A and B are shown apart, each in its own frame.
Chain A
Amino acid sequence: DGGITQSPKYLFRKEGQNVTLSCEQNLNHDAMYWYRQDPGQGLRLIYYSQIVNDFQKGDIAEGYSVSREKKESFPLTVTSAQKNPTAFYLCASSFRDRAEQYFGPGTRLTVT
Chain B
Amino acid sequence: QKEVEQNSGPLSVPEGAIASLNCTYSDRVSQSFFWYRQYSGKSPELIMSIYSNGDKEDGRFTAQLNKASQYVSLLIRDSQPSDSATYLCAVNKSFNKFYFGSGTKLNVKP
* Consensus secondary structure, chain B interface: strand
Measured CA separation A41–B102 after assembly (Å):
5
Our pick among A40, A94, A99, A103 for the contact of B44 (Cβ within 8 Å) is A103
Contact with A along B39-51 (1 / 0, CB 8 A): 0001111100100
**Is A40 in contact with B95, judged by CB distance below 8 angstroms?**
no
- CB of B34, distance to nearest CB on chain A (Å): 7
**Is A100 in contact with B100, judged by CB distance below 8 angstroms?**
no
Measured CA separation A17–B88 after assembly (Å):
32
Contact with B along A87-106 (1 / 0, CB 8 A): 00010001010011111111
- Known contacts: A41-B102, A43-B88. The answer to whether A100 contacts B4 by CB under 8 A is no
A34 located at the interface, meaning its Cβ lies under 8 Å from any Cβ of chain B in the complex: no
B28 located at the interface, meaning its Cβ lies under 8 Å from any Cβ of chain A in the complex: no
Our pick among A42, A101, A103, A104 for the contact of B101 (Cβ within 8 Å) is A42
Interface size class of B (residues with CB under 8 A): 20 to 34
B52 located at the interface, meaning its Cβ lies under 8 Å from any Cβ of chain A in the complex: no
**Is B96 in contact with A31, judged by CB distance below 8 angstroms?**
yes
A20 located at the interface, meaning its Cβ lies under 8 Å from any Cβ of chain B in the complex: no
Interface size class of A (residues with CB under 8 A): 20 to 34
A48 located at the interface, meaning its Cβ lies under 8 Å from any Cβ of chain B in the complex: yes
Residues of B within 8 A of A (CB): 4, 8, 31-32, 34, 36, 42-46, 49, 88, 90, 92, 95-103
**Is B46 in contact with A100, judged by CB distance below 8 angstroms?**
yes
- Known contacts: A42-B101, A42-B102, A48-B97. The answer to whether A99 contacts B45 by CB under 8 A is no
Measured CA separation A11–B45 after assembly (Å):
23
Our pick among B4, B31, B42, B101 for the contact of A99 (Cβ within 8 Å) is B31
A110 located at the interface, meaning its Cβ lies under 8 Å from any Cβ of chain B in the complex: no
Top-8 shortest CB links A-B: A42-B100, A43-B100, A103-B43, A42-B102, A106-B43, A99-B32, A99-B92, A103-B44
Contact with B along A8-36 (1 / 0, CB 8 A): 00000000000000000000000101010
**Is A42 in contact with B4, judged by CB distance below 8 angstroms?**
yes
Contacts of A104 in B (CB 8 A): 43
